[in-house]
């Protein structure tokens, strides 16, 4: 049976990669250094709501930079693409995610919404009457993608708030150039809160499947984001989602994706599936070591690379379909 083959492929991949001992835990946020380097989960969710899970898929962790995709999507809905483009660009940087001074020389915009400066600028645009209202809108947005109530990990939030001097410095720099407005602490708190949203690997795969399914959560049927914005969201993930590894990722794996320093990677195979991997040890770019290997293998096995998809060489639907 084909779905049994997909599950067996994931089980094998998990068994092969579980013994890997490369990579380091992110420790610049003290709470993240407490993660267990052995945690490892892979989850694939299809557009008809089937899921293939292996490993620690129920282990919760903070979403970190993966949140940037969804907050950008919210800003697209709040402002529209042209207005948002004036505030945050869509150009990959080739620099690390927390790179400090990279505002475009002429426009003073941060390069893109997937690096911290661009993400903080994006978060500062989220509309609402007061901080509580903005946070509630943000949590409601995550809940549409995930399909259940979400919570913020208070210790991680406080840990980031106490130690996030680099992010604070970026916010001040952007304030200096008139790219974001006072009060900075409100925007920074909301940014630290969005990074501290608790998810598990399966949740991330459902979020990815929602984007793969034109913005409709395949489990709940809820429209999480207007389908009209999905192309822009995936475009920015494809070019900027994997930090300064984005080019090599596009070449080797070819799936719009976003990683975070807690060890998650979420990837969207349009019209096919949402995929997520969680494994905390990171490489020098800040991407999960096991996660990269899982995606290389999956892309190879099922023809998930966008240029395989567009050439009709994706083998996933066929693999699923043979089952019925
Ligand atoms: N909260 C983290 C930070 O701002 C997010 C970084 C990440 O996941 N790359 O530094």
Q: Give Cα separations from 3 to 130, 204, 312, 323 (angstroms).
A: 48, 21, 20, 6
- Number of compact structural domains in the chain: 2
- 238, part of any domain: yes
Q: Which of 172, 195, 218 is the last residue of a domain?
A: 195
Distance 64 CA to ligand 1 centre (A): 5
Is residue 301 over pLDDT 70?
yes
Q: What is the pLDDT of residue 124?
A: 97
Residues with CB under 6 A from ligand 1: 64-65, 97-98, 116, 160, 167, 195, 260-261, 286
Please check whether residue 90 lies inside any domain of the structure.
Answer: yes
Res. 243 pLDDT band, cuts 50 70 90: confident
The residue to mutate among 29, 124, 152, 187, having the most atoms of ligand 1 within 8 angstroms of its beta carbon, is 29
Q: Indicate the Cα dihedral angle 42, 73, 285, 167, nearest 10°.
A: -130
Cα 287 to middle of ligand 1, angstroms: 12
Q: Give the model's confidence band at 103: pLDDT under 50 very low, under 70 low, under 90 confident, else very high.
A: low
Going from the Cα of 93 to the center of ligand 1, the distance in angstroms, rounded, reads: 16
Asked if pLDDT for residue 95 goes beyond 90, the answer is no
Q: How many A from CA of 116 to the centre of ligand 1? A: 7
On whether both 158 and 212 belong to a single domain, the answer is no
pLDDT for the residue numbered 97: 61
Atom of ligand 1 nearest to the CA of 166: 10
| For range 187-203, the mean pLDDT | 98
Report yes or no on 324 lying in a domain.
Answer: no
Query: Exactly one of 54, 57, 115, 261 is catalytic; which is it?
Result: 261
Whether 72 is catalytic is: no
Which ligand 1 atom lies nearest to the CA of residue 97? 9
108 shares a domain with 178: yes
Q: Which of 173, 195, 217 is the last residue of a domain?
A: 195
Contacts of 267 by beta carbon, 8 Å cutoff, 6+ apart: 208, 253, 255, 256, 257, 258, 274, 275, 276, 295
Query: Among 161, 195, 229, where does a domain finish?
Result: 195
Distance CA(183)–CA(181), nearest Å, equals: 6
Is 301 a domain residue? Answer: yes
At 149 the pLDDT is 98
234 & 166 share domain: no
Residues 139 and 215 in one domain: no
pLDDT at 212: 98
Active site residue 191: yes
Query: Looking at ligand 1, which atom is closest to the CA of residue 66?
Result: 8
pTM for the full predicted model: 0.96
Within this chain, do residues 31 and 88 fall inside the same structural domain, yes or no? no
Residue 172, in any domain of the structure: yes
The residue annotated as part of the active site, out of 243, 258, 269, 289, is 243
Ligand 1 center to residue 286 CA distance, Å? 10
Residue nearest to atom 2 of ligand 1 (CA): 64
pLDDT at 85 (0 to 100): 95
Full domain range(s) for residue 209: 2-64+198-319
Concerning whether 65 is annotated as a catalytic residue, the answer is yes
Q: Looking at the structure, do residues 76 and 190 belong to the same domain, yes or no?
A: yes
Let me know whether 76 and 187 are in one domain.
Answer: yes
Residues 9 and 95 in one domain: no
Q: Are residues 130 and 22 in the same domain?
A: no
In a domain, 102, yes or no: yes
Shared domain check, 42 and 86: no
What CATH number should be reported for the domain holding residue 21?
3.40.710.10
| Three-state secondary structure string covering 224-285 | CCCHHHHHHHHHHHHHHCCHHHHHHHHHHCCCCEEECCCCEEEEEECCCEEEEEECCCECCC
* From 72-76, 166-170, 216-220, the region with the lowest mean pLDDT: 166-170
- Atom in ligand 1 nearest the alpha carbon of residue 262: 8
pLDDT at position 324 is: 42
Residue 203 lies in a domain: yes
**Domain membership flag for residue 78:** yes
Residues 302, 248 share a domain: yes
Instruction: Clarify whether 68 is annotated catalytic.
Output: yes
Residue 261 CA to ligand 1 center (angstroms) comes to: 6
| Whether residue 69 sits in one domain with residue 153 | yes
Which residue's alpha carbon is nearest to atom 10 within ligand 1? Answer: 98
């Amino acid at each position: 049976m084909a779905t049994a083959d997909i599950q067996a492929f994931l089980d094998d991949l998990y068994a092969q990669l579980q013994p890997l001992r490369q990579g380091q835990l992110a420790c610049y946020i003290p709470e993240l250094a407490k993660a267990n380097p052995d945690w490892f989960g892979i989850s694939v969710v299809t557009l008809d709501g089937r899921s293939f899970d292996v490993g620690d898929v129920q282990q919760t962790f903070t979403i970190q930079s993966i949140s940037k995709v969804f907050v950008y999507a919210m800003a697209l809905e709040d402002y529209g693409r042209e207005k948002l483009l004036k505030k945050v660009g869509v150009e990959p940087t080739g620099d690390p995610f927390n790179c400090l001074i990279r505002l475009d020389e002429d426009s003073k915009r941060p390069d893109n919404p997937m690096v911290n400066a661009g993400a903080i600028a994006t978060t500062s645009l989220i509309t609402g009457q007061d901080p509580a209202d903005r946070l509630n809108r943000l949590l409601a947005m995550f809940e549409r993608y995930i399909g259940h109530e979400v919570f913020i990990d208070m210790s991680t939030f406080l840990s980031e708030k106490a130690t996030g001097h680099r992010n604070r410095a970026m916010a001040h720099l952007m304030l200096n150039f008139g790219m974001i407005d006072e009060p900075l602490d409100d925007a920074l708190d909301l940014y630290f809160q969005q990074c501290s949203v608790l998810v598990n690997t399966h949740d991330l795969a459902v979020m990815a499947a929602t984007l793969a399914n034109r913005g409709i959560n395949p489990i709940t049927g809820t429209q999480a984001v207007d389908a009209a914005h999905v192309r822009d969201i995936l475009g920015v993930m494809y070019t900027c989602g994997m930090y300064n590894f984005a080019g090599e990722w596009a070449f080797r794996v070819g799936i719009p994706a976003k990683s975070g320093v807690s060890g998650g990677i979420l990837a969207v195979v349009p019209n096919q599936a949402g995929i997520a991997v969680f494994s905390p040890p990171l490489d020098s770019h800040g991407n999960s070591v096991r996660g990269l290997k899982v995606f290389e293998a999956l892309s190879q096995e099922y023809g998930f690379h966008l240029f395989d998809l567009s050439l009709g060489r994706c083998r996933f639907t066929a693999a699923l379909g043979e089952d019925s």
